[in-house]
Chains A and B, each alone.
Chain A
Amino acid sequence: MTEVEFKNVTKKYGRTKALSGLTLNLSGNKIIGILGRNGAGKSTALQIAAGLLKPSGGTVAVFGENPFNSLRISANAILIHEGMAFPPSLRLGAILDEMKRAYPRFDIKLALSLLEHFGIPDHAFHVQLSKGMKNTFNMITGLAARTPLLMFDEPLNGMDAGVRSDILRVLLKEFIAQPRMILLSGHQLEGVEDLFEEVAIIHEGRLLHHGNADEFKERFVRISGPGTEVRRVVSRVRALELRDTLPGMAEALIELPDGQTLPESAGGLSVSAVPLNDAYIALTRRKGGIDRVYADATDGR
């Protein structure tokens, strides 16, 4: 069964198109990265999957059901994001009690221990927390809710590096202990990319790529060396970036054809792997990149 299914989904806000024909099928108990630039449509897609927004066109099914206004989906899927507005007069401890009442599998013991570990006092109010602490608290509520579908929209903003790696370890342990589908959207991925089993890249309201994260990472390599050598390779494969570094030298980020690998240091070229982050940024970059834009703009004067 497909847990989350988007079929040619569009979403308009007035004249702006947030999604323009998104088709995406996600299935299995996996941690899946939903990647894309700011404004690519990730948040809109997740809010539609959570049943908060209704699509302008196309169909969406979560656990085989239209999520919009579905009581069943609302109890089995949770979306954690920065703008979560908990009831304002509740202290954090009381919010957890409220979550426990609403989500039958909510693990309040885990939530309280995590609050203590991250130094968030349970008698504080949500509005008093700093941005990073707010996001940490929100993430804790999502993890403890133990819904079969767990969605995080840009969950790590504002967190200290230490908190970030700790909460991601909790996420991984939770996933191993209670396998479920976890979607994690973001545009800053340091420290997260090794957690993904699959990645879905959304670009300009559409799906650009969806597949296994390890295979995706292996498809992209950076080569650098003498300009002629780099250009010779680039002429045979798809290049996402090509720029001259020093006189006579060039660097390129290339996508290898399926099943093919470049031998390291082939022909005087140095070959290095590309972090997932760089690969998706290159993939979603407009033609030419910033160097071209700057060159064009300044030459015109």
Chain B
Amino acid sequence: MPINPDSGIPIYLQIADWIEDGILTGLFREDEKVYSQYQLAEQYSINPATAAKGLSLLSDRGVLYKKRGLGMFVSQDARRIIFSRRKSSVLQKKIRDTVVEARLLGLTEDELVDLLRKEMGGDH
């Protein structure tokens, strides 16, 4: 994953998002070890403390758990936690952005819903 220092999103959040993505795509499985703060720091040329902040955020969310002296591991219900948080916050925010954009473009509610339906139908 490319960490983008200019994206406006704090780097530790980008790290956290990337690990969550990895869990969702199956890169990291339950009870498997994730990268250490030092591996992440070297990988992305960032301070280890910043990487640690990303990891500890995930541990606060319950996505990761710490084994003393061994590192951070993926929790049993990591996927569920990620799903529910993203549904409530990430999706919410994206929908809000979309609504703002739609209003600017003068779309009606029905037209927006139609677009959404079409998009979801296209996925299948």
Task: Report if A and B touch in the complex (beta carbons < 8 A).
Answer: yes
Stretch in B7-15, B16-24, B69-77 with 4+ CB within 8 Å of A: B7-15
Candidate in B6, B46, B97 with the most chain A CB atoms within 10 angstroms: B46
- CB pair A195–B45 under 8 Å, yes or no, is yes
Q: Size band of the A side of the interface?
A: 20 to 34
A176 to B44, CA, bound (A): 13
- CB pair B45–A197 under 8 Å, yes or no, is no
Q: B10–A197 contact, CB under 8 A?
A: no
Question: In the complex, what distance in Å separates the CA atom of A172 from the CA atom of B47?
Answer: 8
A244-278: CB near B (< 8 Å → 1, else 0) gives 00000000000000000000110000011101000
A214 to B46 CA separation, bound complex (whole angstroms): 11
Residues A275 and B45 in contact in the complex (CB < 8 Å), given A214-B50, A265-B97: no
Choose among A30, A172, A214, A271 the residue that contacts B42 (Cβ–Cβ < 8 A): A172
For the complex, what is the distance from the CA of A196 to the CA of B42, rounded to whole Å? 13
Task: Please determine whether B8 and A273 come into contact, CB atoms closer than 8 angstroms.
Answer: yes
Q: Does A218 contact B (CB under 8 A)?
A: yes
Is B62 located at the chain interface by the 8 A CB criterion?
no
A-B contact count (CB 8 A): 54
Contact with B10, one of A196, A264, A273 (Cβ below 8 angstroms): A273
Please name the residue on chain B nearest to A271 by beta carbon: B8
A176/B38 contact (C-beta < 8 A), A194-B50, A196-B47 known = yes
What is the bound-complex CA distance between A30 and B50, given in angstroms? 12
Asked if residues A168 and B45 are in contact (CB atoms below 8 Å), the reply is: yes
* Least CB distance, A83 to chain B, in whole angstroms: 28
CB distance from A11 to the nearest CB of B (A): 30
How far, in whole Å, are A214 and B51 apart by their CA atoms in the complex?
11
Interface positions, chain A 184-199, Cβ under 8 Å from B, are: 193-197
Residue A279, interface by CB 8 Å: no
Q: Which single residue of chain A is at the shortest CB-CB distance from B10?
A: A218
Q: Which of A165, A213, A264 contacts B45 (CB 8 A)?
A: A165
Q: Does B29 contact A (CB under 8 A)?
A: no
Determine the main DSSP class of A at the interface with B.
helix
Assembled-state Cα–Cα distance A165/B47 (Å)? 14
| Size bin of chain B's contact surface | 20 to 34
Residues 155-197 of A, flagged 1 when their CB comes within 8 A of B and 0 if not, give 0000000000100110011011000000000000000011111
- Which residues from A are CB-within-8-Å of B8? 271-273
* Cβ-based interface call for A217 (8 A): yes
Beta-carbon nearest neighbor of A169 in chain B: B45
With the chains together, A214 CA to B53 CA distance in Å?
9
Decide: A176 and B41 in contact? CB cutoff 8 A.
yes
Q: Report the Cα distance A79→B8, complex, angstroms.
A: 34
Give the residues in chain B near A193, CB-CB below 8 Å: 5
Residues of B within 8 A of A273 (CB): 6-10
Q: Besides the contacts A195-B47, A218-B10, what 13 more A-B pairs have beta carbons closer than 8 Å?
A: A30-B49, A172-B47, A176-B42, A194-B5, A194-B45, A194-B47, A213-B50, A214-B10, A214-B11, A214-B12, A214-B49, A214-B50, A265-B100
Show 13 residue pairs from A and B whose CB-CB distance is below 8 angstroms, ordered by the A residue: A30-B49, A176-B38, A194-B44, A194-B45, A197-B47, A197-B50, A213-B47, A214-B49, A214-B53, A265-B97, A271-B8, A273-B8, A273-B10
Closest 10 CB pairs of A and B: A273-B8, A197-B49, A194-B46, A197-B47, A272-B8, A176-B38, A195-B47, A194-B5, A214-B50, A218-B10
